[in-house]
Structure 1
Amino acid sequence: MRKILIIDDSLYQRRSIRKILSQKPYEIQEATNGREGLEMLKSYQPDCVILDILMPDMDGLAFLATTQKQGETTPIIVLTADIQETTRRECQRLGASAIEYKPLSPLDSEKFLEMVERIIQSKGGAST
């Protein structure tokens, strides 16, 4: 079963993302900030990370920078309300596999789910 780690400080957003992802047989874990997410990345070893940018303690950009320095290859999808082009470019520079904007509408949900699956498959992220 493929494993996904959601890192977002908003309980509402984590639940919304989990609801979308629950349409597939994913094992899902959650972290409330980047620091907690880094610890879970090591112990949980997910096939994909869904990452928010604006969070307390350690934000998403710091998380991306840290994982890049560590040579982490787990695909990271940034899901953010920050629509600034500079933020988008910085996420790409730091190795994000994709950047999507929230909130996701019901129409966006299916496309998001397809994108997650495509990214996991393209990175060879199938768990055994």
Structure 2
Amino acid sequence: MSISVLVADDSKLSRRSVIRALPEDLEYAICEATNGKEAIELLSDTSFDLVLLDLTMPEVDGVGVLEYLSDKADAPNVIVISADFQPEKQKIVTSLGAKRFLRKPLDKEELAMAMFELGYL
């Protein structure tokens, strides 16, 4: 089974790091977005199982992406991965439907645990 994943982060290095942190025992179809606007465009055209989302991005930030997804009945699971780990940010993204909030730099084991809890492993 292949899991379709959208990795949205304005940093190419961060996107690569997130992709490398994905558990190796699964197959993935991975798309990348360099900002929130690109992420929304991809989400409007393509169905994803999982979105790995940074909060601080140009054009549209991660909160804007979550707001876009919040009224979609078939919205994918979203894991926010951000260095902006303020409690109020956590509340905002959780209220908008994010399933988990992980801290950068991303810990591979934390991502695996979040994916396990969401039923992917």
Query: How many percent of aligned residue pairs carry the same amino acid?
Result: 34
The alignment's C-alpha RMSD in Å is: 1.8
Query: What is the CA-CA distance between 1:67 and the residue it aligns to?
Result: 1.1
Q: Distance in 2 between matches of 1:26 and 1:118?
A: 18
- The 3 A distance-change label for structure 1 pair 61 and 40 is same
Determine the structure 2 residue equivalent to 1:59: 61
Q: What is the number of residues matched between the two proteins?
A: 119
- The 3 A distance-change label for structure 1 pair 35 and 72 is farther
- The 3 A distance-change label for structure 1 pair 70 and 111 is closer
Determine the structure 1 residue equivalent to 2:44: 42
What stretches of structure 2 of length at least 5 have no aligned partner?
none
After superposing on structure 2, the runs of 4+ consecutive aligned residues of structure 1 that deviate more than 2 Å are 69-73
Q: Distance in 1 between matches of 2:56 and 2:78?
A: 15
Higher helix share: 1
Determine the structure 2 residue equivalent to 1:80: 82
Higher strand share: 2
Instruction: String of CA shifts for 1:58-90, please: whole Å, max 9, x gaps.
Output: 000111111113444211110000011111100
Instruction: String of CA shifts for 1:77-122, please: whole Å, max 9, x gaps.
Output: 1000001111110001111111111102xxx303312322432549
After superposition, residues 2-41 of structure 1 pair within 5 angstroms as 2-21=3-22, 23=24, 24-41=26-43
